[in-house]
Amino acid sequence: MRLCFAALGPLQVKAGRHLACKSRLVVQAIGICSQLVIALGPIMIVDDRIYGRFEITQPVLIELMGAGTVVRLKDVSQRGYPAFVECSSPVHYSRYEHSIGCMLLLRKLGAGLEEQIAGLLHDVSHTAFSHTVDWAFGDPTREDYQDSILAQYINASPLAQILKRHGYDSSEISSLEETDRFGLMERKIPQLCADRIDYTLRDCHYSLGCDAGSFLDHLTVSVGHIAFDSYEMALKFGETYMRCQKELWGSQGNAVRYYIIGRMMKEAVESGVVSRKDLHLTETEFIDAVRRSGNEHVNSLMDLAFGHIDYKIANDGIRLNKKFRYVDPEFVQNGKNRRVSEVNPKYGKMLDDEGKIEREGFRAKISGLEWQKR
């Protein structure tokens, strides 16, 4: 199976490998098929591996889902490196799939249309290779480069006019972090929100083999917060989230690769191979730009970033610190919301201990990379 994006009519997929099907759909194939999006006139059909089948009829959502600024995310990898990288998950999914997923989860939780729009657009400002840009031009312990430019990016894009045409203010749609207006979509760590839940369900299902449905069936909304209907499921989700952090998002191998990709991007910009604006090319376009440039140094960094990486932990190596992601899920007990750490001190201590370890980071020597102690 393949990760497929299909279109009938105006929505055409331009990025990735294309296959011709019997139905003459245009299909983009990256990894295993986990989400199918089909435009059928005034209806958009979404068949998602995690949430199931939806018919989207709201004109604003249909137009936004087909807008070039959003479609670009089909060629921006969720995990920060392309599908051909050897350490990629058996299922390689994009920021587009995650963005659609957030919108679908919000629909399931009863969120209003405006919050669904915010969920759909929350990642449009991601550069090629997602959070690796924070290792080039941001802070890898925060990974908030994309968030910091979201409002500016949306307001300067065609999305602002689409939203205005449908009666929505782009400045309000993009103010996820500044207010509690979209409390189901986005909340500060360690609270649950649609963003954290969606990428956790996908990564635990695709990479760890977990049953995403077992979590989804126990989600509810209580006093405006996403919560689980039992302590047991809240604890299980918290433990699964931490497993994803340790084995996937915050692993040493992932930090090493992010560092190299970030360094490649930074040196590509500083050497004039690409511009800062080019950071928002698709990943295919960015790779092509570097290859065409003939810049030997940047190309060698790209070869290293997307190939096999050998490294060893060493006190005199490069210091690497990645963002510590964690949750302390809420659950409903006797009509009140409680957090796992309130009833399970060991869970709270585990979060503290893991946080100290990850915030200290580590030092590594990377084979094939000129390095210096930092």
The lowest-confidence range among 16-25, 65-74, 86-95 is 16-25
pLDDT in tens, 314-332: 999 999 999 999 999 999 9
Dihedral sign of CA atoms 78, 83, 88, 93 in order: positive
Q: Is residue 8's pLDDT more than 50?
A: no
Treating both helix axes as pointing N-terminal to C-terminal, what angle do 158-165 and 59-66 enclose, rounded to 10 degrees?
Answer: 170
* Bigger pLDDT: 36 vs 358: 358
Element (H, E) at 349: helix 345-360
* 104 CB-near residues (< 8 Å, 6+ apart): 46, 48, 50, 51, 54
What is the predicted pLDDT for the residue at 10?
A: 29
What is the predicted pLDDT for the residue at 223?
A: 96
How sure is the predictor about 177, in pLDDT bands with cuts at 50, 70 and 90? low
What is the predicted pLDDT for the residue at 39?
A: 76
Could you tell me what percent of the chain has a pLDDT over 90?
82
Q: Which residues pair with 44 in a beta bridge?
A: 39, 56
Question: Rounded to the nearest 5 degrees, what angle is found at the Cα of 145, between the Cα atoms of 354 and 221?
Answer: 65
How sure is the predictor about 371, in pLDDT bands with cuts at 50, 70 and 90? very low
Distance CA 135, CA 121 (A): 23
Mean pLDDT of 94-116: 98
Token pair of 252, please? 């040493």
How sure is the predictor about 85, in pLDDT bands with cuts at 50, 70 and 90? confident
What is the dihedral angle through the alpha carbons of 59, 60, 65, 68, rounded to the nearest 10 degrees?
Answer: 110
How sure is the predictor about 9, in pLDDT bands with cuts at 50, 70 and 90? very low
* Bigger pLDDT: 10 vs 125: 125
Q: Is residue 210's pLDDT more than 60?
A: yes
How sure is the predictor about 78, in pLDDT bands with cuts at 50, 70 and 90? very high
What is the predicted pLDDT for the residue at 22?
A: 26
Q: Is residue 203's pLDDT more than 60?
A: yes
How sure is the predictor about 92, in pLDDT bands with cuts at 50, 70 and 90? confident
What beta strand segments (E) does the chain contain?
4-7, 17-20, 26-29, 35-40, 43-48, 52-56, 219-222, 225-228, 311-320, 330-333, 336-339, 362-366
Q: Is residue 27's pLDDT more than 80?
A: no
How sure is the predictor about 21, in pLDDT bands with cuts at 50, 70 and 90? very low
Q: Is residue 164's pLDDT more than 60?
A: yes
Closest CA to 342 of 194, 193, 238, 226: 238
pLDDT in tens, 258-302: 999 999 999 999 999 999 999 999 999 999 999 999 999 999 999
How sure is the predictor about 16, in pLDDT bands with cuts at 50, 70 and 90? very low
pLDDT in tens, 55-75: 999 999 999 999 999 999 999
Q: Is residue 139's pLDDT more than 60?
A: yes
pTM: 0.89
Q: Do 25 and 6 meet the contact criterion of CB atoms below 8 Å apart?
A: yes
Cis peptide before 345 (omega within 30 of 0): no
Whole-number average pLDDT of the chain: 88
What is the predicted pLDDT for the residue at 89?
A: 58
Closest CA to 311 of 257, 260, 370, 365: 365
Q: Is residue 31's pLDDT more than 60?
A: no
What is the predicted pLDDT for the residue at 88?
A: 52
Closest CA to 153 of 228, 69, 215: 69
Q: CA-CA distances (angstroms) from residue 187 to 97, 161, 197, 222, 364?
A: 21, 27, 11, 14, 33
The lowest-confidence range among 1-5, 322-326, 353-357 is 1-5
What is the predicted pLDDT for the residue at 87?
A: 61
